[in-house]
Amino acid sequence: MTDPLLSLENVDAGYGDLRVLDDISLHVDDGEFVSIVGPNGAGKSTLLKTIVGGTTMYSGVTQYDSADISKTPRHKIIDDGVGYVPQEDAVFPDLTVWENLQMGGYTNRSDIEDRVDQMYDLFPKLEKRSTQTASTLSGGERRMLAVARALMPDPDLLLIDEPSSGLAPQIVDRMFDRIEQIHGQGKTILLVEQDVSAVVQVSERVYTLKSGSLDFEGTITEFNNSEKSNALGW
């Protein structure tokens, strides 16, 4: 049995003295699409930030590609093949779309123009806006640009925080279509989301997070057949 691409074992984490995550254990296998769902304030964003070294980790171990990254600086984690799309705006507002993509690929300059073209193929609207500054884009376009920037170094694992946040329903559908396409191109995806209806269309496995603790893990079928799918108003 091969080791998972990503695993967390008994992780407690938070911010300074504020403990947010309690005894988190999960895994993501190479090539999987896994989602973590839960209400606002459950700790979903904190979990992704912990993976990329953005929180205080009190105990436990995070492993990526069989290496312990619990104390690894964020830039090294990104260099080693983890892409991260935070919930907050992850673009440079005063740079153009093209310049943002160039900045996203700074750790891997080989074939960078080919990778920009690949992002334009994935998100055609970005090519039309290539000379516009990011500050002039719509909310949906900025989310597309943030995902494209995270893909520029060609990561093996993509972490995405609340891709539906603040977007109109039709834009959410398009975003998840693109994320599913990214997974189809061979990327491993770990996504956190409150919109369960979107998650069940694309994920292979689901964890549920409540008050900083995981309380369910299973396949989409198991999730749909469980009480968790109807909990908390979902």
CA angle at 199 for the pair 29 and 65, rounded to the nearest 5°: 20
Report pLDDT for 1: 64
- Give the tens place of pLDDT for each residue, 146-182: 999 999 999 999 999 999 888 888 889 999 999 999 9
**How far apart (Å, rounded) are the C-alpha atoms in residues 92 and 100?**
6
- Give the tens place of pLDDT for each residue, 64-82: 999 999 999 999 999 999 9
For the chain, the domains span 6-81+155-233, 93-154
If one looks up domain 6-81+155-233 in CATH, what number appears? Answer: 3.40.50.300
Report pLDDT for 231: 60
Q: How is residue 214 written in tokens?
A: 């995981």
Instruction: Give the HSE-up count for residue 160: Cα atoms under 13 Å, Cβ half-sphere.
Output: 34
Amino acid at 77: I
- Give the tens place of pLDDT for each residue, 87-126: 988 899 999 999 999 999 876 667 899 999 999 999 999 9
What's the whole-number average pLDDT of the chain?
Answer: 93
**How far apart (Å, rounded) are the C-alpha atoms in residues 66 and 61?**
11
Q: How is residue 44 written in tokens?
A: 């979903």
Distances (CA, A) of 203 to 62, 67, 83, 178, 198: 22, 25, 18, 13, 9
Residue whose entry in the numeric block shows the structure tokens 């884009």: 137
Nearest alpha-carbon partner for 163 in 137, 145, 186? 145
Nearest alpha-carbon partner for 181 in 130, 123, 139? 123
Q: How is residue 141 written in tokens?
A: 């376009």
**How far apart (Å, rounded) are the C-alpha atoms in residues 228 and 234?**
8
**How far apart (Å, rounded) are the C-alpha atoms in residues 35 and 37?**
6
List, in sequence order, every beta strand (DSSP E) within the chain. Answer: 6-15, 18-28, 33-37, 56-64, 67-68, 82-85, 157-161, 188-193, 205-210, 213-219
- pLDDT at residue 229 greater than cutoff 70: no
- pLDDT at residue 232 greater than cutoff 50: no
- pLDDT at residue 37 greater than cutoff 60: yes
What is the phi/psi pair of residue 104, to 5°? -65, -30
